[in-house]
Structure 1
Amino acid sequence: MTTALYEIETSEADDGTTVPAEGIWTPSSEDAADNGFIAYSGLYVAGIGAPNDEALYPDRFVVLGHHRWAQIIEAAAAFMDRVHGWRSLHLYPDDDPSVPIHRIPRAVHTHAVFLRRPHPDHPCGCEWEDTWRMIWAPPTEPGAVPITAMRHPAAPATATGLPDPDQGAPAAWAP
């Protein structure tokens, strides 16, 4: 018997039955671009904010598929430039440039399950409609998508919760 790593949220329909409020989503090409990913040199990258979603800027980046570390750095810089008008990955916009510059962290190859609201068969009309969330998952988990992930250099290392291969997480360091 296995324990599920994620739970699909549900809501109650008018007739009292429980229906899924979200479903497994596999982002790809234009569908990913329509949902917050940007296309850069054939890669699809998204910046993800703090868990409390109050941060203006992403604390980590995810790129669909497994890619080299240098590719995710370029894609992350392109994301910051296109979305926030800021090409530097060393600081966030409006940070004090006298603060020591962080090194760019290593990227990891891992897997995640993307859950999207609403489940196509059961639109819910809530404030989260047409949004997605991502949950780290082993590659064998149903719906798991290969991704390359990296924390933003200005984000605290403990804040992002990226899988750490050195701690036994289902991930490997990107070459």
Structure 2
Amino acid sequence: MTAPALYEIETSEGDDGTTHPTEQVWTPCADGTADHGFINHQGLFVAGLGSGTDDDLYPVGFLVLGHQRWADIISAAATYMSRTHGWRNLHLYPGNDPSVLIPRIPRAVHTHGVFLRHPHPDHPCGCEWDGTWRLVWAPPTEPGAIPVTAMRHPAAPAATSSVPNPDQGAPASWAA
């Protein structure tokens, strides 16, 4: 789902030998966010992030469009879990044992990302990924990069979410 390196638009060759993009850069807007997995929580648009494996039943992280306060992303993430998965507790995944030690809520980061939508609408491929998007972390100067706030789900192992870590040199800063 995410990658630490700069993004590259994938291309393929058509029947006539011409190269065309297989993905397009998607710029989020309020009108199209629901179609791409975002919910509106008090004016913030939040989505769950998968780890990129097929066995994710629940998000391993959360993404809010724009640079937001840490408290606001916690509230938005809890609302996302409630609306999308019918679960009111942000600390545990649905079905987890409540007697297990509950991890602290990780810090949110301000960073930038590029949304790549598959496939390019002018060149549909008919694969299982049609109409889906992926997020690639990018520096703010990268074409198509937009400001986002990201946070790992408290129940997800730190290694699965790949949210940028400012302490390890990622192009991000800690949310206030």
Q: Into which bin does the TM-score normalised by the smaller protein fall?
A: over 0.9
* In the alignment, structure 1 residue 170 sits paired with structure 2 residue 163: no
**Residue of structure 2 in register with 1:11 after alignment:** 12
Distance 1:8 1:53 in 2: 23
Shift, 1:121, TM fit? 2.7
Distance 1:104 1:24 in 2: 31
* In the alignment, structure 1 residue 69 sits paired with structure 2 residue 70: yes
**Residue of structure 1 in register with 2:80 after alignment:** 79
Provide the secondary structure at the position in 2 that maps to 1:78.
helix
Tell which has more relative contact order, 1 or 2 (C-alpha 8 A, sep 6+): 2
Write the deviation string for residues 18-47 of structure 1: whole angstroms up to 9, x where unpaired: 211101111111211111111110011000
Map 1:36-115 to 2 at 5 A.
Answer: 36-115=37-116
Shift, 1:101, TM fit? 0.9
Shift, 1:169, TM fit? 0.9
**Residue of structure 2 in register with 1:140 after alignment:** 141
Instruction: Give the residue type in structure 2 aligned to 1:158.
Output: A
State, as a whole percentage, how many aligned pairs show the same letter: 70
Provide the secondary structure at the position in 2 that maps to 1:31.
coil
> Which structure 2 segments of 5+ residues have no match?
none
Higher mean Cα deviation, 32-41 or 143-152?
32-41
Instruction: Give the residue type in structure 2 aligned to 1:62.
Output: L
* In the alignment, structure 1 residue 21 sits paired with structure 2 residue 22: yes
Distance 1:110 1:70 in 2: 16
Distance 1:40 1:30 in 2: 14
Shift, 1:9, TM fit? 1.6
Provide the secondary structure at the position in 2 that maps to 1:133.
strand
**Residue of structure 2 in register with 1:151 after alignment:** 152
Provide the secondary structure at the position in 1 that maps to 2:31.
helix
Provide the secondary structure at the position in 1 that maps to 2:71.
helix
> Which structure 1 segments of 5+ residues have no match?
none
* In the alignment, structure 1 residue 30 sits paired with structure 2 residue 54: no
Shift, 1:55, TM fit? 0.7
Q: CA RMSD in A?
A: 1.2
Provide the secondary structure at the position in 2 that maps to 1:150.
strand
Instruction: Give the residue type in structure 2 aligned to 1:56.
Output: L
